[in-house]
Structure 1
Amino acid sequence: MNGRAVITRRRFIKETAGIAAGAIAFPHFVASSALGKAGSVSASNRITLGFIGVGSHGIGMNLKTFLGNADAQAVAVCDVDSNHHDKARDIVNQKYGNNDCATYKDFRDVIARDDIDAVVISTPDHWHALMSVMAAKTGKDVLCEKPTLTVQEGRVLSDTIKRYGRIFQTASGIRASSVYHRMCELVRNGRIGKVHTIRVVLPGGPHRPGITTPMPMPKALDYDMWLGPAPWTPYTKDRLHYHWRWVSDYSGGQLTDWGAHHISIAQWGNNTDLTCPVEVEGKGVFCEGGLYNTAREYKIKYKYANGVNLIISSGTPGVQFEGDEGWIGDLGEPQGKLKANPSSVLDSVIGPDEIHLYTCPAGEQRNFLDCVKSREPCFYPEEVGHRVFTISHIGNISMLLGRKLRWDPDKEQFVNDELANRMLSRSMRSPWRL
């Protein structure tokens, strides 16, 4: 790390020690003049936000969505690529009609600010847990993109959020989808009888091996900070931006990336949000001779303690529940369309005394803002996300080892398998640590 990073870290520790000790559970009061053209909501009802990671997803899915909520105020944007944070800053300033949005390359400068209520993290996966934990310790609420990188990181993240009393939203809108919400309510209320099988299909990829040849680093990029806790390796453009998903140092591939969406629906419909399957056996196909080393194709079979089988495979995304009285799902259907057998299942009305699942049709960002105010849990909170990610992680481990594994969801360890258990955590490059 360079001299600036060392100074920033010292300043961060000094400034945030008092913040964590005195953190309060409600948004700050900020002068309404800071709202600029968006000043239609009283300062006492406005949540100040810092955005960490403002690439295409960070801007397109998160920043712009939050800017559409009058009770949210973006005050800072951070990215290791200055081209990204400059673009995000300009979007924010144009929205508010001022030049108040601050830019940073080091996320610690954002979470050290005591005028920020919550952070929105849209970085590669290898940063998610570390940033979320550090933000929570300074009294910040967190909306973080999914998933974590390892089972151990997810456990630390979930425990830290609870310990510091923070609000956390896993950044997936799938539980806000009327299609999946309806699907899961019908399943949970017994409309297809006793469930015996859940099928989840996720995209495949990567479809090329990736270039390993070192390249000159772009001047706008702080590559050392981009790597962060990941191992040092020479820069190549195929590592960064969208393509980091295919490198296991930063991600678990589509199984974790898309799995955070559709496996969440399997868990929701199966009423297993706070646990995981007890067996896993996976097979995968991987690219050879290049940079990318996450599974290109895969089929993984799991079994829950309640006897339900979960089958995850690569293909066109969707979910299907199968019971002893029928089935319901969207496999092979256009987005937003359900099918069932018998088809009459789709016309069934959920009665007032039946199970009604918690959602927010306006999406995960709106739900997060509401929960920051109410201090009620979000619809995709930290522990639920951790269990979903764990299913993906143990599937990846089974594929890599090439054998069936038994999983203890209470101890969060494989049963009698030392090698597999060593793969549940990873060391971080100095000076980073959870």
Structure 2
Amino acid sequence: MFDRQSITRRSFIGATSAAAVAPYFIASKALGDAETPPASDRIVMGGIGIGNMGRGDQNAFLSRKDVQYVAVSDVRKSVREQAKGKVDGHYKNRDCQAYNDFRELIGRSDIDAVHIATPDHWHAIMVIEACRNGKDVYCQKPESRTLREGPLMIETARRYARVVSGGSQRVLQDYRKLVDKCWSGELGPIQSINVNVGPLSKLCNLPAEGAPDDIDWDLWLGPAPWAPYNPNRCSGSYSTKGNSWRSYLDYSGGGMTDWGAHHFGGATFAIDVRDLQPEEVVFHNDNGKTHLTFKYPGGKTLTHNCPGKENLEVEGTPGETREAKPVPEYKGTGGIYGDFIHCVKTREKPFRDIDYAINTVTVAHLGIVAYAVERSLKWDAKAQRFVGDEEANRYLDRARREPWQL
């Protein structure tokens, strides 16, 4: 297995051996000073997928003094060169390496951790390969594209003893007041919560256009079915209503998984079921208006698009008491990014540990299947299969193009 401490020690020894030649350089860069921690205390990082959200993630990690940012990867030349330029400008050198193929980045033995913000259909493959290569991982939500991917990601993280954090900052930061109400006992025992989010993703029939030289189109598609280039097919727009990869079935679960990762994450955290998965999804069709009820072990429920209910509307039990519980917090300093870096150093579980993140997106995936087959489903969380419904089980995963298999 990759040993981060041995790498930093070797780097440190190699650097200090050059002190006779450049003592001031070594003192400021390797040994640290008032502004910069020594090399042994810095996490060496690279970024994969640096457009839109990836750019924000890069800024957050690059600004940390306990991170040494050394590499970027993106299938768009202009994006990766811009990202490299930002790193080089920050450190006032030209040391950052830019890669078209993410495998070159995660194959580097000097890199401790990576952040990933590619389209969703790439997440599982990249997280699993990064873990196998000894990297800790911060992966943007939604962490998985299919139900089958989630358990494989968790298993790989545990097998290789990797720290893997999901990337939804809104779960704690945006929904904290709601979480405090629920966990303080103010609302009594919690019965249910509602989430309004959508739409589902759809097929993409955009016309073919000539791919610009700036993009490696085949690598952008990766495990997704081959399709002709169209700029709106691969647009990183945050819209889930069309003309962005977030809208299309081959790359995303649409708003159900995209914004759903935030909303379902906040909802399951608030009602304290984030370490569980639903055991049943009840499909409702009221005069053509469909909605869902997710039933959890222990009796709590989560509804999706329930008529007459607001987003994150909670039903408690007035007049009854519930013992207060302390709300889990980020570790370290600097929000969800600092939480991840702290855990890379200490080997603790981050706030959005991969199992919590997968439990969240599993709710969205289960809902997508229920809407697809238009009936209620029972879910065996241990077996990771629908009970007695082989049609539904065909939705557990999607075919992948060679050589991108799990």
Give the match for residue 308 of structure 1: 300
For 1:256-271, list aligned pairs within 5 A: 256-271=257-272
Give the match for residue 337 of structure 1: none
**Structure 2 residue 55 is the aligned partner of structure 1 residue 83:** no
User: How far apart in 2 are the matches of 1:275 and 1:205?
Assistant: 24
User: How far apart in 1 are the matches of 2:389 and 2:5?
Assistant: 42
Q: TM-score, normalised by structure 2?
A: 0.85
Change in Cα spacing, 1:117 to 1:174, as seen in structure 2 (3 Å) is same
* Contact 1:229–1:433 (8 Å) recurs in 2: yes
For 1:46-57, list aligned pairs within 5 A: 46-57=42-53
For 2:83, what is the secondary structure of its paired residue? Answer: helix
* Contact 1:217–1:235 (8 Å) recurs in 2: yes
User: Which letter maps to 1:404?
Assistant: S
User: How far apart in 2 are the matches of 1:383 and 1:367?
Assistant: 16
Give the match for residue 72 of structure 1: 67
For 1:19-418, list aligned pairs within 5 A: 21-24=1-4, 28-29=8-9, 30=11, 31=15, 40-59=36-55, 61-147=56-142, 148-177=144-173, 180-202=175-197, 204=199, 212-242=206-236, 243-282=244-283, 299-313=291-305, 318-325=311-318, 354-360=325-331, 362-418=334-390
- 1:394-432 deviation line (CA, Å, top 9, x unaligned): 100111111111112222211100010111112211011
* Contact 2:197–2:260 (8 Å) recurs in 1: yes
* Contact 1:28–1:47 (8 Å) recurs in 2: no
Q: CA deviation at 1:302?
A: 1.5
Give 1 or 2: higher strand fraction: 1
User: Which letter maps to 1:310?
Assistant: L
User: How far apart in 2 are the matches of 1:262 and 1:298?
Assistant: 19
Give the match for residue 18 of structure 1: none
* Contact 1:28–1:117 (8 Å) recurs in 2: no
- 1:75-131 deviation line (CA, Å, top 9, x unaligned): 001100001101111111111111111100000000010110001101000100100
For 2:175, what is the secondary structure of its paired residue? Answer: helix
For 2:192, what is the secondary structure of its paired residue? Answer: strand
Identity %: 36
User: Which letter maps to 1:28?
Assistant: T
User: Which letter maps to 2:82?
Assistant: K
Q: CA deviation at 1:313?
A: 2.5
Q: Unaligned regions of 5+ residues in structure 2, if any?
A: 16-25, 237-243
User: Which letter maps to 2:38?
Assistant: S
Q: Unaligned regions of 5+ residues in structure 1, if any?
A: 1-20, 285-296, 328-344
Change in Cα spacing, 1:211 to 1:426, as seen in structure 2 (3 Å) is closer
Question: After TM superposition, where is structure 1 displaced by more than 6 Å over at least 4 residues in a row?
Answer: 35-39, 314-317
User: How far apart in 2 are the matches of 1:124 and 1:409?
Assistant: 26
User: How far apart in 2 are the matches of 1:209 and 1:417?
Assistant: 24
Alignment: residue pair count: 377
For 2:315, what is the secondary structure of its paired residue? Answer: strand
Change in Cα spacing, 1:68 to 1:132, as seen in structure 2 (3 Å) is same
* Contact 1:132–1:157 (8 Å) recurs in 2: yes
- 1:212-250 deviation line (CA, Å, top 9, x unaligned): 110000111001000111111111112103211111111
**Structure 2 residue 394 is the aligned partner of structure 1 residue 422:** yes
Q: TM-score, normalised by structure 1?
A: 0.80
User: Which letter maps to 1:180?
Assistant: Y
